[in-house]
Amino acid sequence: MEKMLIINRYNLTINLAKYVWIISSFILMYCFIGENKVCAEGISNYTVQLLLPNHQNKEVTSYFDMCLQPNESDKIGIEINNQENHAQHFQIAFTNATTNDNGIVDYTKKNVELVGDASIDFLQTVDKENYQLEVASNSKKVMWFNVHMPNKQVAGIILGGVQVSNVNHDTQKQVLNHEVQYTAAIKLSQNNEPIVPKLKALSAKVDTIDDHQVVKMTIQNLTPVLLRKAEIRSRFYKEGDKTPLIDERKKGLSIAPNSEFNLFSPIVEAVKPGDYRYDIVIKNALGEWHLSKKVTITHAKAQEINKDYPRTPQSNEKLLIAAITCLSIILLLLVIKMMKVVKDR
């Protein structure tokens, strides 16, 4: 009887150890995952194929890359394959390329204003900006669009995009289906002569994004040049200090030609009123650019930033992980002690 009791206690101890580790693992997983939400873009019920033009760069097949001389034209094709058992309506839209605040070239925004020395708007080169069509069930349809290079010399590149989206007359479905989109770049040029990019810092200020205080700089790429694989280092200093309050690095960014965009860094610690400096260094294979702007933080703005400091999820997450780790160690030590007591008996 006593032997069975010892065995039962031993099994209970082993099970307790398992439960401790299982619970700790789930809690730690929650700490790392937090409240981030992953949203599915939906399942596409159609496919899109690009029909490349005669002037296509032979080394490029995933998007349109054309070299046209002044007053020269070519046609690009969009083939839509409807895989549903009913007819579907689609919209084909052309846009200028721009740069979003994540440092990615974006081909989905409408009414984009070009900056700098852009001599030609991409929308001036296509014969239609928007087009709607119906594709019968389980069938394909091809649409051809004319691309015309204006009769003038153009340096650099003209960059735009084409976006194909499903359009449904049912409002509820339309919202869902418009999340399932196909986007491709369209790059036009007359030659491959290199151009030295010019970047300009317009302004910098402290702003609120998604209920978080950030320091933000508005930057312009003034030239018809696409900056690929850019590395950015952002530092935010109190005037007169050598140690930055913020020192952030980003890699793999891209900047569209003749575009304006914002770069921002989160403020993760309390600040004092006064003058600051926001320095940004951008570099890639084409060069290196140093941008700097003065930022003044008033007493009212400092109070707004500091009212709920520390506010960063990372700080709270680290504290929670540390607490859970300590709790797990304590529980594990208790389990080991119980096992030792059972063994001694």
DSSP string, 252-293: EEEE-TT-EEEEEEE--S---SEEEEEEEEEEETTEEEEEEE
Exposed/middle/buried for 109, CB within 10 Å: 0-12, 13-18, 19+? middle
Please tell me which residue, 3 or 302, carries the higher pLDDT value: 302
Per-residue confidence (pLDDT) for residue 84, from 0 to 100: 94
pLDDT digits (tens, 9 = 90+) for 9-42: 445 444 544 544 444 444 434 333 333 333 224 4
DSSP state of 208: E
Q: Between 2.60.40.3880, 3.20.19.10, 2.170.130.10, 1.10.486.10, what CATH number should domain 46-189 receive?
A: 2.60.40.3880
Give the other-Cβ count within 10 Å of 337's Cβ: 11
- The alpha carbon of 27 is separated from its chain's Cα centroid by a whole number of angstroms, namely 29
Are 227 and 284 in contact by the 8 Å Cβ rule? The answer is yes
Average pLDDT, the chain: 83
Average pLDDT over residues 43-54: 90
Q: Between 1.10.287.110, 1.10.260.40, 2.60.40.10, 3.60.20.10, what CATH number should domain 199-306 receive?
A: 2.60.40.10
Sequence-separated (6 or more) residues with CB below 8 Å from residue 152: 70, 119, 120
Structure tokens belonging to residue 335:
């389990």
Q: How confident is the model at residue 119 (pLDDT cuts 50, 70, 90)?
A: confident
3-state secondary structure of 301: helix
Range from 17-26, 138-147, 214-223, 239-248 carrying the lowest mean pLDDT: 17-26
Please give the angle made by the CA atoms of 286, 290 and 295, to the nearest 5 degrees. Answer: 150
Domains 46-189 and 199-306 belong to one CATH topology: yes
Range from 105-109, 243-247, 301-305 carrying the lowest mean pLDDT: 301-305
Order of strands across the sheet that contains 64-67:
64-67, 181-189, 157-167, 88-96, 130-135
Per-residue confidence (pLDDT) for residue 309, from 0 to 100: 63
Sign of CA dihedral 199, 202, 208, 209: negative
pLDDT digits (tens, 9 = 90+) for 182-226: 999 999 999 999 999 999 999 999 998 888 889 999 999 999 999
Question: Could you give phi then psi for residue 194, rounded to 5 degrees?
Answer: -70, 150
Report the C-alpha gap between 162 and 45 in whole angstroms: 19
Length of the chain: 345
Domain borders along the chain are 2-36+313-344, 46-189, 199-306
Q: How confident is the model at residue 3 (pLDDT cuts 50, 70, 90)?
A: very low
